[in-house]
Amino acid sequence: MNSSEEIAVSGMSAGRSAMRMGPAELVQAAAMARRFYLEGKSKIQIAEEFGVSRFKVARVLETALERDLVRIEIRVPAELDAERSDALRARYGLRHAVVVESPADAEETPDPENLGEVAADLLGELVNEGDVLGLAWGRSTIHMAAALDRLPPCTVVQLTGVYDAGTAERGSVEAVRRAAQVSGGDAHPIYAPMLLPDAATAQALRHQTGIARAFEYFDKVTVACVSIGSWEPGISTVHDMLSDEERAHYASLGVAAEMSAHLFDSEGRRVGRDLGERCITVKADQLRRIPEVVAIAGGQRKAAAIDAVLRSGLVTSLVTDTSAADYLMTAGPAPKSTLNRTDPDGI
């Protein structure tokens, strides 16, 4: 029985409606309910024990629920919002959506650290032995890696360069190493900045031995973990690495969000594709082919950006908070299911 469910089976004190049953019926119904809900016996096994048909067992169990003899409570940890999670999953057609309670300062805090902790538990469920796990740069993925305590044996590869090469050891490179250490698998980090001055420099770096080796794994990734940024200071890695003139240029194209150095407008269409030529990152088409892409992002300041990226069809699952979820549930018309992985650009 799922540990998140509590089954309460009572007898003569079940309530006024249950008392319409005679005492023998009550005792038998309580016994059958106990066998089924608490002991995990099948209806056929119960029928054999009581010398009745399995159809009668089914009727008795149904009556026990209707007359309040049995009460079933679904419980999840307090920090998880099961109702919002299910509603968000259905609205965007996601494979998984996990919504956690926002901290008190949610308005000012994008990607609360507890998102990383929950995402770490989710990856523990999603990753199987022999998988290739890809990690993109982002504060949320770094928090996730720090919280990992279980992963089956898998290969871990870095999907993007780093925000600042000088902090690589404390950032995404360390996240890749940490995940590989937990899983006992191989690590393929990328010691290079995410954004380079020009396309020629980026192309040259892609051919360096260590970076090229990591790139070889991009088409083999089975589970990816990514972050999402809004197009504003401090909440987008790419925004902060560009000059004022470049920011203004991409803003004029309608950029609303970025993920792994790919830019999106509010409808999920990619814009500013020339920027990718200067970046060390997994291609958007490669992300689209990865079976499971988990985005970790939350907070009111990122809510619109999360909506934009979900509409791109690149993400299959989301870990977010109640602050962002409340916005997402009313953010324009419901999008097409993300699980069809279609490109909004039709390209």
Question: What is the pLDDT at residue 271?
Answer: 95
Q: How far is Cα 42 from Cα 57, in angstroms, rounded to an integer? A: 10
Q: Could you give phi then psi for residue 7, rounded to 5 degrees?
A: -110, 120
Helix axes 23-33, 54-66, angle to 10 degrees: 100
Classified as helix, coil or strand, 68 is: coil
Other beta carbons less than 10 A from residue 48's beta carbon: 13
Instruction: Give the DSSP per-residue string, 81-120.
Output: -HHHHHHHHHHHT-SEEEEEPPPTTTTT-SS-HHHHHHHH
Question: What is the pLDDT at residue 302?
Answer: 92
Q: Is the pLDDT of residue 341 over 80?
A: no
Q: How far is Cα 262 from Cα 267, in angstroms, rounded to an integer? A: 14
Q: Dump pLDDT digits (tens) for 56-70.
A: 999 999 988 888 888
338 close to 313: Cβ distance less than 8 angstroms: yes
Question: What is the pLDDT at residue 264?
Answer: 96
Q: Dump pLDDT digits (tens) for 139-172.
A: 888 889 999 999 999 999 999 998 764 444 456 7
188 against 114, higher pLDDT: 188
Question: What is the pLDDT at residue 345?
Answer: 67
Q: How far is CA 215 from CA 58, 127, 212, 270, 297, in A?
A: 56, 20, 5, 22, 25
Give the percent of the chain with pLDDT over 70. Answer: 84
Furthest CA-CA distance within the chain: 85
Question: What is the pLDDT at residue 13?
Answer: 41
Classified as helix, coil or strand, 8 is: strand
* Element counts in the chain: helices (H) and strands (E): 14, 13
Terminal alpha carbon distance of the chain: 46
Give the percent of the chain with pLDDT over 90. Answer: 59
Q: Which range has the top average pLDDT, 11-25, 223-237, 283-297? A: 283-297
Which residues, 6 or more positions from 284, have their beta carbon under 8 angstroms from its beta carbon? 262, 270, 276, 314
Domain annotation for the chain: domains and CATH numbers? 23-67 (1.10.10), 80-340 (3.40.50.1360)
Question: What is the pLDDT at residue 7?
Answer: 57
Q: How far is Cα 337 from Cα 290, in angstroms, rounded to an integer? A: 16
Q: Per-residue confidence at 254, pLDDT binned at 50, 70, 90? A: very high
The average pLDDT across 7-18 equals: 46
Question: What is the pLDDT at residue 239?
Answer: 86
Question: What is the pLDDT at residue 15?
Answer: 43
Q: Hey, what's the torsion of the CAs at 41, 42, 48, 50, to 10 degrees?
A: 60
Q: What is the length of the chain?
A: 347
32: its two tokens = 């059958």
Q: What is the pTM of this model?
A: 0.76
Q: Is the pLDDT of residue 131 over 70?
A: yes
